[in-house]
Amino acid sequence: MLVVAILLHPLQLPLVRLLEGYWPVRVSAITAYGVRRQNRHRARLSANTALAGGTAPTPDEVRRAGLAMVALRQTFPSEVALTRPTRLGNALAAAEDRAGRSYGWDAPVAWPRLYPLLGEPVRAMVDNRRDILDATVRLSVTGLLCGLASVLLLAPTGWWVLLSAAPLVIARLAYGTAVAAAIAYGESLRAAFDLHRFELYGALRVELPATRDEERTVNAQLCDFWRQGRDLGQTYVHPAGPGAGPGPGP
């Protein structure tokens, strides 16, 4: 398991993508089955968020609906079309979809620009949760590969083949931990946008928006510029100082 883990370390990103459900087209039937299964789970969570009509809900019903809503937001993206075939894929899709969304940011586009501006406490939180996610994903794949190899190697030995269950159990436990780590990672991304999004405007020399609607408009324009190269049509706002001053720019 140690040797396999070392060999898999350079493949960290492909391993995460694999467990997210980004699979080849030739296994599209398996992908479609996984998506249907995940959508059924989404539907059950969505049904639990509804309160019974006609009577005042009890505190337990309100609590149940609230917990279901939190779970739905943490484990599934906002649109059914974005559903992935695995639990890990949906937890990370929810993180990408919801981080900064209420402010008009497209998180996968804006995150590489925001990350260098994070304060040390938030950066440490984000890095720690991402490291836990990567480590548990690697442990899950390592356990799975070693478990399958153990089945083949121990098959002729009779009852000794049951030892192969040990790495398979480790793989299953590590996968569940990876899903929990992905949810925690998504929460840290949302916190980063909440606390540091205004620092992007200063770094980009863009005027601070005055209202929430203006903020969403500016953020959507910036994301379109980064994603598609659309002209911003804005004027830069440089900090005051010797030789500094506002100047026209795209």
Q: What would the DSSP string read from start to end of 110-160?
A: HHHHHGGG--HHHHHHHHHHHHHHHHHHHHHHHHHHHHHHHHHHHGGGGGG
**Among the three residues 32, 60, 83, which one is the final residue of a domain in this structure?**
83
Q: Give ∠ CA 155-86-21 in degrees, rounded to 5.
A: 85
In a domain, 224, yes or no: yes
Residue 147 sits in the same domain as residue 57:
no
Residue 9 sits in the same domain as residue 61:
no
State pLDDT tens for residues 51-107: 766 677 788 888 888 898 999 999 999 899 999 999 999 999 999 999 999 999 999
Q: What does each C-alpha distance from 64 to 59, 76, 153, 201 come to in angstroms?
A: 9, 18, 48, 40
In a domain, 247, yes or no: no
In a domain, 244, yes or no: no
**Among the three residues 43, 62, 83, which one is the final residue of a domain in this structure?**
83
Residue 193 sits in the same domain as residue 210:
yes
Residue 179 sits in the same domain as residue 121:
yes
Neighbours of 88 (CB within 10 A): 25
State pLDDT tens for residues 7-63: 777 888 899 999 999 999 999 999 999 999 999 999 999 988 887 666 777 888 888
State pLDDT tens for residues 106-129: 999 999 999 999 999 999 999 999
SS (H, E, C) 52-64: CCCCCCCHHHHHH
Residue 70 sits in the same domain as residue 165:
no
Neighbours of 54 (CB within 10 A): 4
In a domain, 249, yes or no: no
Residue 58 sits in the same domain as residue 114:
no
**Among the three residues 83, 100, 123, which one is the final residue of a domain in this structure?**
83
Contacts of 206 (CB under 8 A, 6+ apart): 200, 218, 222, 234, 236, 237
Residue 100 sits in the same domain as residue 131:
yes
Residue 78 sits in the same domain as residue 98:
no
State pLDDT tens for residues 137-195: 999 999 999 999 999 988 888 888 899 899 999 999 999 999 999 999 999 999 999 99
Q: How many CA atoms, within 13 angstroms, populate the side-chain half-sphere of residue 250?
A: 6
Residue 127 sits in the same domain as residue 191:
yes
In a domain, 64, yes or no: yes
Residue 226 sits in the same domain as residue 160:
yes
Q: CA-to-CA distance for 65 and 60, rounded, in angstroms? A: 9
User: How far is residue 132 CA from its own chain's centroid?
Assistant: 13
Write out the residue range of the structural domain in which residue 34 sits.
23-83
Tally of domains within the chain: 2
Q: What does each C-alpha distance from 5 to 178, 182, 201 come to in angstroms?
A: 16, 20, 42
In a domain, 181, yes or no: yes
Question: What pLDDT is recorded for position 249?
Answer: 42
Q: What does each C-alpha distance from 137 to 5, 184, 190, 212 come to in angstroms?
A: 11, 14, 22, 38
Is residue 247 classed as helix, strand or coil in its secondary structure? Answer: strand
Residue 128 sits in the same domain as residue 211:
yes
Contacts of 199 (CB under 8 A, 6+ apart): 114, 117
In a domain, 248, yes or no: no
Q: CA-to-CA distance for 183 and 120, rounded, in angstroms? A: 21
Residue 161 sits in the same domain as residue 196:
yes
Contacts of 86 (CB under 8 A, 6+ apart): 19, 20, 21, 34, 38
Q: Please state the pTM of the whole predicted model.
A: 0.86
